[in-house]
Amino acid sequence: SLTLLVGCKSVSGKTSAPLYQAKEIIIGKSQKVLQVARSAFRGNPDLSVAFKGKVIGLVKFNENTYVASLLVCSHRGCGVEFNKSNGSAETSTKASNISLGNHYYICPCHGAKFTAKGVVTQGPAVENLTTFITSSDDNFVYIHLS
Ligand code: FES
């Protein structure tokens, strides 16, 4: 059969947010910040931001509101994934679909689920994902690591 590559869908049909290699910058005296170009979203509501071997899920709620969650499960540390299993990436990642009640991250190890804001909604995990403060300007979104 013919497989079309649409957006970031892989041939297996599994989807993932685009992966962006973020640049770490220092602001002020010693504040570590990841700088993410707004253009990297390319119209998507979410982005996987990689830095130093870690991945942060960055979800855009609106032009000025972003939530950054470390994609490490609070149960036993597996990498959690964007949950796009119930529908295509196009329908399941619409910004309007992202809410606290919507399971957005899923852990492949034991099935824990987290909202787009990193809040745990299904065990065995009991703790939320680690989140980071974010800020933004015209060109960049900043993830404050410290
Ligand atoms: Fe994620 Fe167990 S490590 S559910």
Q: Is ligand 1 within 6 A of the CB of residue 129? A: no
- Taking residue 58's Cβ as centre, other Cβ atoms within 10 Å add up to 25
SS3 sequence, 38-69?
HHHHCCCCEEEEEECCEEEEEEEEECCEEEEE
Which sign, positive or negative, has the C-alpha torsion 71, 75, 77, 83?
A: negative
Q: Given pLDDT bands bounded at 50, 70 and 90, which one contains residue 2?
A: very low
What's the farthest any 2 CA atoms get from each other in the chain? 57
Are 137 and 28 contacting, i.e. CB atoms less than 8 angstroms apart? no
Residue at 36: amino acid letter: V
Q: Is ligand 1 within 6 A of the CB of residue 110? A: yes
| C-alpha to C-alpha distance for 29 and 45, rounded to whole angstroms | 32
For 85, the token pair is: 């299993």
Close Cβ partners of 1 (under 8 Å, ≥ 6 residues apart): none
- Per the model's pLDDT, the better-predicted residue between 60 and 5 turns out to be 60
pLDDT digits (tens, 9 = 90+) for 10-50: 333 344 566 888 888 888 888 899 999 999 988 888 899 99
Which atom, in ligand 1's list, is nearest to the CA of 80? 1
Q: Take atom 4 of ligand 1 and give the residue whose Cα is closest.
A: 110
What pTM value is reported for the model?
A: 0.76
Q: Is ligand 1 within 6 A of the CB of residue 120? A: no
Find the 137 Cα to ligand 1 centroid distance in Å. 35
| CA angle (4, 56, 113) in 5-degree steps | 80
| Bridge partners, residue 20, by sequence | 49
Are 93 and 103 contacting, i.e. CB atoms less than 8 angstroms apart? no
